[in-house]
């Protein structure tokens, strides 16, 4: 692999060519989060002498152990993880569209070093400069604490966007043509971030995949922070928790029996309101939006919990009683042939992802392009259907690691590879000029691009659920429901 060097504001970088794109990895955009800085707004005054080796990913944020989170590099500072990565098909170009990726992980896990998000294929095939980032997770990123700004993870992401604005031209990118793209918890972050007035000039377009309905009120966020801090013998203050090792807080979050974890909080300052209210009020007026979800969002989490084929009628009834607008009858009547497991997955998937995502498309005041991925993945002999995260291997063209192995067995068919190539081109076209290649959505026709066995434009496929949820105001979940632990 031949090396390539570029100058950014902080100094000179050395990256390398890999698979048809030049990649620059582990570039600091913020100073290490040590001591008092751990719960402060990010400090972006970074720099170095000589040439920075940008040929390997930097450290990942503290999080539960997982195969998708590679071990931190030896001799690295584990607090020095505010890093960005850049892939470019042509570092000598000028004016390439820029796609900024924000990973998911239930707000408590995830890293830009996850091999599922290796960006060479997406950058090359979409002909975009691709940027990914790390940001604070869990208590460090989202807990509402006395003596600390709220939503520190969002402040990290905004700082990374400012780094893109100031430096992306060095990689062939156009700082005035930035598309912000998030999936799952990453989409939850992006949907919140783009409503901030201070971020408005940092992007031109937005892509949201599987937006979670998981924003917290101040009251709930305070209770979550107090409960978790109490498990480590501390108060929910920045001063107290700065003395608690990060891995101890990670364990305290993971052992919450109610699965109440830190998430974006509607604090009225960093995040003034929920995305549904903000979109409806025109916060993104005129901004092109591409948005969608998978058909069978919740089946992945049931499978990861070892519960496929084991959901009982009582468990389905409890989920329906807790979450279904109008009570269980609404789903029993709309889906008369569904078994208990199907109903369980439907109502939780609708509450967490599908209906909130759809509603943002309805509320957005600007060009909107809606999609659904309905491709049944080969894993578990097709029992997952088209689950949460099934879009990620297709879009990143990564099947031999991470989600590609979990969902596609590492061996996608030729048709699946062709679908992924089409999706990458569509994502690139949208980033380039705001048109992914299908007709826009409106509330009358509800046209939706279906990425299924045959790619086509159809009326929104989830009409039964749409009708059930048509009068629900989104912003927080009604009652409680299992928390998604994946990307």
DSSP-assigned states of every residue in 60-106: PPS----TTSPPPPTT--TT---EEEEEES-TT-SSEEEEEEE--ST
Query: Which entry of 123, 132, 184, 487 is annotated as an active-site residue?
Result: 184
Relative to beta strand 21-28, strand 51-53 is: unpaired
pLDDT given at position 487: 42
Q: Count of alpha carbons within 13 Å of 292, Cβ hemisphere only?
A: 29
pLDDT given at position 74: 84
pLDDT given at position 76: 85
SS (H, E, C) 88-100: ECCCCCCCEEEEE
Percentage above 90 pLDDT, the chain? 92
Find out whether 388 and 212 touch, Cβ atoms under 8 Å: no
pLDDT given at position 257: 63
Reply yes or no on whether 103 is catalytic.
no
Dist. CA 67–CA 406, nearest whole Å: 11
pLDDT, one tens digit per residue, over 139-185 is: 999 999 999 999 999 999 999 999 999 999 999 999 999 999 999 99
Reply yes or no on whether 321 is catalytic.
no
Res 477 pLDDT > 50: no
State the average pLDDT for the chain: 95
Kindly provide the b/e burial profile for residues 22-41, where b requires at least 16 CB atoms within 10 angstroms of the residue's own CB: bbbbbbbbbbbbeeeebbbe
- Tell me the two tokens of residue 390: 């099934």
Tell whether the torsion through CA atoms of 189, 192, 198 and 202 is positive or negative. positive
pLDDT, one tens digit per residue, over 96-113 is: 999 999 999 999 999 999
DSSP state string for 11-36: EEEEEEEETTEEEEEEEESS----GG
Dist. CA 475–CA 473, nearest whole Å: 7
pLDDT given at position 476: 62
Res 306 pLDDT > 60: yes
Query: Which entry of 68, 112, 132, 297 is annotated as an active-site residue?
Result: 297
Mean pLDDT, residues 312-318: 97
- Comparison of pLDDT for 129 and 67, the residue scoring more: 129
Dist. CA 377–CA 384, nearest whole Å: 7
Mean pLDDT, residues 56-67: 90
Res 258 pLDDT > 90: no
pTM: 0.96
Reply yes or no on whether 476 is catalytic.
no
pLDDT given at position 475: 85
Res 478 pLDDT > 70: no
Find out whether 375 and 423 touch, Cβ atoms under 8 Å: no
DSSP state string for 28-58: ESS----GGGGGSPP------SSEEE-SS--
State the DSSP H helix or E strand holding residue 417, giving kind and residue range, or none if neither.
Answer: helix 414-433
Mean pLDDT, residues 407-431: 97
Res 362 pLDDT > 50: yes
Mean pLDDT, residues 118-124: 98
Res 486 pLDDT > 80: no
* Crossing angle for the helix pair 152-167 and 185-193, to the nearest 10 degrees: 70
pLDDT given at position 68: 72
What ranges in 127-208 are assigned the alpha helix state H?
Answer: 138-142, 152-167, 185-193
Mean pLDDT, residues 230-243: 97
Res 126 pLDDT > 50: yes
Percentage above 70 pLDDT, the chain? 97
Find out whether 362 and 289 touch, Cβ atoms under 8 Å: no
Annotated domain spans of the chain: 3-468
State the DSSP H helix or E strand holding residue 450, giving kind and residue range, or none if neither.
Answer: strand 447-451
Query: Which entry of 210, 372, 388, 462 is annotated as an active-site residue?
Result: 388
Res 252 pLDDT > 60: yes
Mean pLDDT, residues 69-95: 93
Rounded to 5 degrees, what are φ and ψ at 450? -100, 115
Res 1 pLDDT > 80: no
CATH for the 3-468 domain, from 3.40.50.2300, 2.60.40.10, 3.60.130.10, 3.40.50.1820: 3.40.50.1820
């Amino acid at each position: 692999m031949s090396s390539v060097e570029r100058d950014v504001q902080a100094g000179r970088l050395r990256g390398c060519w890999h698979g048809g794109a030049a990649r620059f990895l582990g570039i600091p955009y913020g100073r290490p989060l040590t001591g008092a800085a751990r719960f402060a707004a990010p400090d972006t005054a970074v720099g170095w002498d000589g040439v920075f080796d940008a040929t390997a990913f930097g450290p990942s944020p503290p999080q539960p152990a997982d195969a998708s989170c590679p071990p931190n590099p030896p001799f690295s500072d584990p607090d020095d993880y505010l890093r960005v990565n850049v892939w470019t098909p042509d570092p000598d170009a000028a004016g390439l569209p820029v796609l900024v990726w924000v990973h998911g992980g239930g707000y408590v896990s995830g890293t830009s070093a996850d091999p599922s998000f290796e960006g060479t294929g997406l950058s090359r095939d979409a002909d975009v400069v691709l940027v990914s980032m790390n940001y604070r997770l869990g208590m460090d990123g989202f807990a509402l604490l006395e003596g600390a700004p709220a939503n520190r993870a969002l402040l990290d992401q905004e700082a990374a966007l400012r780094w893109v604005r100031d430096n992306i031209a060095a990689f062939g990118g156009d700082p005035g043509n930035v598309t912000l793209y998030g999936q799952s918890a990453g989409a939850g972050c992006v949907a919140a971030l783009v409503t901030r007035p201070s971020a408005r000039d940092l992007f031109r377009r937005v892509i949201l995949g599987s937006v979670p309905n998981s924003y917290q009120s101040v009251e709930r966020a305070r209770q979550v922070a107090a409960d978790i801090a109490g498990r480590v013998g501390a108060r929910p203050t920045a001063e107290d928790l700065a003395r608690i090792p990060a891995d101890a807080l990670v364990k305290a979050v993971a052992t919450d029996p109610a699965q109440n974890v830190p998430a974006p909080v509607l604090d009225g300052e960093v995040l003034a309101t929920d995305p549904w209210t903000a979109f409806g009020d025109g916060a993104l007026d005129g901004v092109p939006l591409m948005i969608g979800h998978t058909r069978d969002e919740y089946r992945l989490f049931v499978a990861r919990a070892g519960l496929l084929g084991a959901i009982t009628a009582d468990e389905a009834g409890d989920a329906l009683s807790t979450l279904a607008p109008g009570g269980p009858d609404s789903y029993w009547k709309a889906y008369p042939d569904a078994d208990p497991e199907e109903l369980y997955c439907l109502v939780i998937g609708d509450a967490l992802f599908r209906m909130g995502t759809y509603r943002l498309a309805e509320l957005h005041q600007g060009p909107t392009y809606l999609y659904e991925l309905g491709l049944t993945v080969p894993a578990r002999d097709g029992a997952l259907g088209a689950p949460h995260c099934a879009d990620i291997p297709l879009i990143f063209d990564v099947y031999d690691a991470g989600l590609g192995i979990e969902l596609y067995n590492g061996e996608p068919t030729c048709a699946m590879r062709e679908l992924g190539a089409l999706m990458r081109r569509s994502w690139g076209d949208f980033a380039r000029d705001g048109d992914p290649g299908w007709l826009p959505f409106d509330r009358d026709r509800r046209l939706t691009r279906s990425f299924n066995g045959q790619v086509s434009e159809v009326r929104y496929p989830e009409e039964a659920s749409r009708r059930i949820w048509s009068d629900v105001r989104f912003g927080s979940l009604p009652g409680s429901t299992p928390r998604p632990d994946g990307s």
